[in-house]
Structure 1
C-alpha cells in the first residue's frame, strides 16, 4: 500500500487514480491512526455536518465513525483532478449495532499539499437503508 506522501502533486491521471486507490485501501483498514497520517497536521474537513481541523480531531472522528459503522467496506472512484485537487465519488456499506445495513453514497473534494498530504477534505454523504441481501461490497 502506498504511503500518504508517495504520491504527490502535480497529478496525472495515473497518479490521481493511484491516490484514490491508496485512500480506499487505507480507509478499508478502519485504523484511525493510520488513516489520519494521510492528512496535514492542520487538515480541514467537512464531513456531513461536522467540521474538523487537524489530525487529532480526524483521528477521534474516525474512531467514533468505525465504532458505529460495523463491517465497513468502501469503494472510491476518481471523478476529476487538477494539479493538486482530486474529486471522487464513493459508496460504502456498514451495519449499525441493531443489525441494519446501510449503503452510503457521496462525493469528496480533496486538496493536497506539495508533500502529498491532504490539506482539505469536503464530503457530502447520503445514506440508504438496505437489506443484507442487497449488499454489493463484500468484506
Structure 2
C-alpha cells in the first residue's frame, strides 16, 4: 500500500494541503489519476448517484467530464478532525448546448491511515449563469494558479 500524504491525523495546514491536492486532481480531468486518491473500495454519494470502488469512480468521472465541458473547480476547507475533512466547493462548466452553470456544493470526506479517501458524500446545487458571469478563468485542464482568488475572495 502506497501512502498518499498528507496523512491523518490532520492539522489545519495538512487539511488545507489535502483539499488543494483534491482540487488540483479534479481540475486535471483525468479520471484514472483522480481515482488513485481513493481506496479500492471507496464509497461515494454524489447527488443522487452512489459509487463503489475505483472502477466505478473512473466511469463516473469519465461521464461527468464528457457532459460538463470546460470544467473548473475551487475547493475550500470548512472543517477537519483526525481523519475527516469537510469542504465547500464551487465549479463552473458548460453543457454541449453552451449553457454555463455554477455548481455549489459541500463534501464530507473520511480517510484511511494511508491518506486515501474511503468515503465521499457530496451535495450539489446547480445555478445557470451566463458566460459573462463566469468567475473562474485559467487555462484548463490544469490546476488553479496560486494567484487566482479562492471562494472567499470571490464572495462565493
Partners of 1:4 and 1:130 lie apart in 2 by 40
Q: Which residue of 1 aligns with 2:44?
A: 45
Structure 1 residue 70: deviation in Å? 0.2
SS for the counterpart of 2:79 is strand
SS for the counterpart of 2:6 is coil
Note if contact 1:4-1:38 (Cα within 8 Å) is conserved in structure 2. no
Is residue 2:5 matched to residue 1:6? yes
Flag as ranges the 4+ runs of structure 1 deviating above 2 A: none
Structure 1 residue 113: deviation in Å? 0.2
Partners of 2:124 and 2:35 lie apart in 1 by 20
Structure 1 residue 6: deviation in Å? 1.8
Q: Which residue of 2 aligns with 1:126?
A: 125
Aligned pair count reads 137
Q: Which residue of 1 aligns with 2:102?
A: 103
What do residues 111-131 of structure 1 show as CA deviations (whole Å, max 9, x unaligned)?
000000000000000000000
Gaps of 5+ in 1: none
CA RMSD of aligned residues (A): 1.1
Gaps of 5+ in 2: 139-156
Partners of 2:68 and 2:29 lie apart in 1 by 10
SS for the counterpart of 1:86 is strand
Counterparts of residues 1-139 of structure 1 (less than 5 Å): 5-139=4-138
Partners of 1:23 and 1:52 lie apart in 2 by 18
SS for the counterpart of 2:7 is coil
Structure 1 residue 109: deviation in Å? 0.1
SS for the counterpart of 1:28 is helix
Greater strand share, structure number: 1
The TM-score, its normalising length taken from structure 1, stands at 0.97
